[in-house]
Homo-oligomer: A and B are copies of this chain.
Amino acid sequence: MLLHLSTWQEVEAYLQQSTGIILPIGSTEQHGPTGLIGTDAICAEAIARGVGEVTQAIVSPTINVGMALHHTAFPGTMSLRPRTLILLVRDYITSLAKAGFTKFYFINGHGGNIATLKAAFSETYAYLEDIQIPHAARVQCHVANWFMCGSVYRLAKELYGDKEGSHATPSEVAVTQYIYPEAIKQAPLSPEVASGHRIYSATDFRTHYPDGRMGSDPALATPEHGKQFYELAVKELSTGYWEFLQEKT
């Protein structure tokens, strides 16, 4: 059930059955010479909707722009500052928690979002307790990173070995190829690719990762791989969502 394709009365009915919601969060950032700028949002959205179908959970609109400041030296990258993203998450959850939602399951497509999301959850719990909404203490948020699913990780290892890398990876590129086969890109990729440098400022990042990739060979990706990753992630995160719903509050 997609929130944006529902009416408020349908949401009201849904809340009689469940107070859980799935929120896809991605990023809009460079993904190397062949990766789509929307990769992280595309993957998160597709997988979140898949999980929504399996679990009958409602799925919110996607947070398309996340915390990608370190990629902003590449054109096309868009980023929120961490403090902005914290406020955004606080506002999202506050709106929904006032209506009765208590279980917030973020399906995330971007490693760079994790820290800020966790900070945002802490900020939000405190805010909800401060403003004393009913059931404030029962609100629970969780970030589930599809790319960290055990099954996904194992398949990526099997298919790509250490050419999976850590940004503009063949696994995430494969998922976008599966979702948007019409947008598969070709571009020269140097055989040598930087890796191992930690992430600091945007300028520093581009200096050390001149084409945007971090240790990956996205040329290995295929739409068929993408389908496999998609299905593994949907399956594993559906289980994760059910377990999350069952956690005591």
Report B-chain residues with C-beta under 8 Å of the C-beta of A121. Answer: 200
| A5 partner residues in chain B, CB cutoff 8 A | 36-38, 180, 183
Q: Which residues of B contact A154 (CB under 8 A)?
A: none
Stretch of A67-75, A157-165, A225-233 lying at the B interface: A67-75
Q: Are A76 and B198 in contact (CB under 8 A)?
A: no
Inter-chain contact A11/B130, CB cutoff 8 Å: no
**Are A88 and B80 touching (Cβ within 8 A)?**
yes
Chain A interface size range: 35 or more
Tell me, yes or no, whether A123 is within 8 Å of chain B by CB: yes
Structural contact, A197 and B78, CB atoms closer than 8 A: no
Give the oligomeric copy count. 6
Which one, A46-54, A94-102, A145-153, is touching chain B? A94-102
Nearest-Cβ distance from residue A79 to partner chain B, whole angstroms: 5
Chain B residues whose CB sits within 8 angstroms of the CB of A120 once the complex forms:
82
- Chain B nearest CB from A206 CB (Å) reads 9
Chain B contacts of A140 at CB under 8 A? 198, 200-201, 204
A212 at the interface (CB under 8 A from B): yes
Query: Would you list 13 pairs from A and B whose C-beta atoms are within 8 A, ordered by A residue?
Result: A4-B42, A6-B76, A8-B30, A9-B33, A61-B78, A75-B100, A80-B91, A82-B119, A116-B118, A136-B201, A136-B203, A138-B204, A197-B247
